[in-house]
Structures are given as structure tokens and as C-alpha cells.
Chains A and B, each alone.
Chain A
């Protein structure tokens, strides 16, 4: 059974978004997504400073068998990326909500229209 922390927001495309105290949003993929993808062997992250509109493909996570686009859960600018994923993409499998985070976005809008943990659970059940 997938782990779905209560304190995060989710997209139906299986990204999680964590609104931090400074107003920035940390983003990764859910436990369900990493399990479906299985061994992540390659991650392509956006450049720091690049801008995305909510719903844009901003990153790619690849397993041996498939590539999966990661979509921006909110419009804004990339202010930080998880460099460790270049050498250790398996962090996404081992720790999808912590060490496997992907990017931090400085949002241009309020974080809204996302799912809470209960609604997300309904999406994947």
C-alpha cells in the first residue's frame, strides 16, 4: 500500500507539492508513482531559473523500461534542483518524499486546485 503523507498536496499525475514556510514549493513524485515506474535510473531536471506554467512538463524520470514526464504543480520559477539525483536516481525509489525530492519552485500564484491526501488516495485506489 502506497504511503501518502497528510501534510502534502498532490496532482492526479502523481506529483506531490510541499508548501514551505518561505512560500516556496518543493516538488517530487509520489510513492505510488515511484512504485509504478520501478527502478528510476535517470532523471532529467530543469535548469535553475527556468519558468514553467502549471501543467507543463518540467522534468523526466526514467526507468529501464519507460520515461515519465513530471509536470509543474504550480506556475513559477525553478529556484533549486536536487543535484544528488544525477548520481543517485534511486533516491526517488528509496525516499520519494524526502531525499528523492526533485525541484523547488518559487510560485507565481497561490498553490490551489491540488488534491489532499484523501482525494489522492481515491485517484490511485
Chain B
């Protein structure tokens, strides 16, 4: 089966993008270069085509009850115009995916799962919806998503759509939704709308000076901020507690996976820790992590931080902050320590 492409595929190619397979999509990994694109987002403004992300709509009179059941968050606490980052767990408390829930109204929510998990989440929602008066529609094929990120992003959004949006808030105009969300830790927004309008948005925002940014810099930007990458930092075998994201759980409501989480809540478990390398060298996912010479874990993420010019990564360990560790890279042990995230 051939890979899917967004309507911007030809634009990416003519901008000199290198294309890679990502979750069954032909997506740009970089345009001018990861370092320059990373810098553009930290210091100016970048734009990402993330139309491979999913859009699942839940509608009906029991939308709030249903989504509170299948996510870690109590949606009764949301009001129209709120966005909420939360996890979707299985019965064992393992993370199936992380997502942002958009409150379009009390009876209409949009969720944005990761590209590789859209079908899983759609099936999971359907199979758990029997007791709720809801409709679940996977409209991922109908919508684009562009992320406009960086200190200059609010200015460009104002010029382009004559609007502004607060952090984790949304504004909508017809089928177009703008949310104060992103995956870079910078100011900015994500624009979601009908697929046939994406080229107009892309061309206008590039014309205003937004720098096209690929998935390569998307990864370095999110890792500097300690954000999780689905399928990599959690792969279906870790709970929300182990990722250190317990703030996404509202314990005052019942949800799938809650009982399993309560059982391990007061036990000792490995947690996802930040790893900072203190000498020259780059760490990669899968590199072995050792403490006092003994291998204890493997990195789930690892890269060079373009901002810090150091190797940074994540690994599940029971170590404490500032413990000295080594990471084995091609037979060499690089010295580093456990640090609190975010790195930046």
C-alpha cells in the first residue's frame, strides 16, 4: 500500500524538503536543515504541516460523560472553548495514546490523536461507547492541521486570520478551529480546517515569513521541553504515572485504567527521567543507560539539543535527580546525569 500524502506534499518537495515515511505518511523531515528550523521556531516563527494527525469528533448528549470515561480528565471541568491535554488508557492503566480534547460545546468535542494511533483510538472509543448516547466520527481524512509556532506566531495569526487565542483555548469560525496549542513549548497555535483550504493558509503564512519546519526539528523542539512522543516514550506498556505526567489525571472521577493506577500509585516504579550528557557526543533512542557501571535501562528518546549543544534524552529509571549515569554510544560510555525536565 502506498503512503498517504497531505495536499501540501508538492509544496514540501518544491521547498527542498527531504521526505520520510512517518506512520504511513510521506512527510517532510526537514527543509533547510534541522538546526536552522529549530532556531526559527525558538527565535522567530515556524510552520509545520501536521495534517497527518487525526481528528475524531464525539457528539451527542452524553459526550462529556463518555470522554470522562475514556480519558484521564474529567470533562465536566471543561467549558466551551477549552482545550485539555490528557491520556487515553487501557484497563491496565497503560497509555494507548495522548491527545488534546477540544471542547466545541457540551455536546461536541474534537480529539486529536497521533497519526499512528487514529484507528486504534477510533476502535477503542467505539468498543467502549455502548452505554453512552454518543456518535463517534473519524474525520481525519477531511481536515488539515498546521502548527504555527514561535514568538512571532501570535503576530502572524493576527495578520492572517484577524484573531488571537489564549493558551489552551480555542476559537472557531465555521469549520476552522484555531487553538493555543503546539508541541514546541513556544507561543503559537494550531489551525485545523477543511483539507481543501490548507494550501491557502500555508502559502499566506509562508509569504508572511513563517519558516517551514519538518518532523526533525519538531522532535528536537519537543524533546527540549520534555514532551512525550507517542510510540516512543510510551509504547503501550507504560502508565501515565510512569511518564511523570500525573497532572493529566483527575482522580476525582472514574475512568478506564483508574483502578490499575491506584494499585501502583503508592509503590516504587520507574519514572521517565531527563538525561543530560556532560561531554561531547550525541545520544540516540535505544542507547543503553548505566548506573555505577551496571546497565539499568535504555533511552526512549535521545538527540542533540540544538539550543544547549548537549546530548539530551529520556529513560525510565528509579534513579534520582542529579545521579551520575553513563550512556553507551557505539561502545563508548558518555558521562551525564539525571535531570529534571524540561531541559529548556
| A residues in contact (CB < 8 Å) with B | 38-39, 41-42, 44, 60, 62-65, 67, 86
Interface of B is mostly: mixed
Asked if B282 and A67 sit within 8 Å, CB to CB, the answer is yes
Asked if A65 and B306 sit within 8 Å, CB to CB, the answer is no
Closest CB of chain B to A34's CB: distance in Å? 11
Cα A64 to Cα B216 in complex, Å, equals 8
Chain B: interface size category = 10 to 19
Cα A103 to Cα B33 in complex, Å, equals 26
Asked if B34 and A63 sit within 8 Å, CB to CB, the answer is yes
Asked if A62 and B282 sit within 8 Å, CB to CB, the answer is yes
Given contacts A38-B30, A41-B282, A86-B280, contact A64 B330 (CB under 8 A): no
Given contacts A64-B304, A86-B280, contact A41 B29 (CB under 8 A): no
Asked if A38 and B34 sit within 8 Å, CB to CB, the answer is yes
Quick check: is B18 within 8 A (CB to CB) of the other chain?
yes
Interface contact tally, CB-CB below 8 A = 38
Asked if A65 and B35 sit within 8 Å, CB to CB, the answer is no
Q: Chain A residues near B36 (CB, 8 Å)?
A: 39
Between A38, A44, A64, A86, the greatest number of chain B beta carbons within 10 A of the residue's beta carbon is seen for A64
Quick check: is B60 within 8 A (CB to CB) of the other chain?
no
Q: Chain B residues near A60 (CB, 8 Å)?
A: 330
Given contacts A38-B18, A38-B33, contact A67 B216 (CB under 8 A): no
* Nearest B residue (CB) for A62: B282
Closest CB of chain B to A51's CB: distance in Å? 18
Quick check: is B94 within 8 A (CB to CB) of the other chain?
no
Q: Which of B189-214 contact A (CB under 8 A)?
A: none
User: Mind listing 15 A-B residue pairs with CB under 8 Å?
Assistant: A39-B33, A39-B35, A41-B282, A42-B281, A42-B304, A62-B282, A62-B304, A64-B35, A64-B216, A64-B220, A64-B282, A65-B29, A65-B34, A67-B282, A67-B330
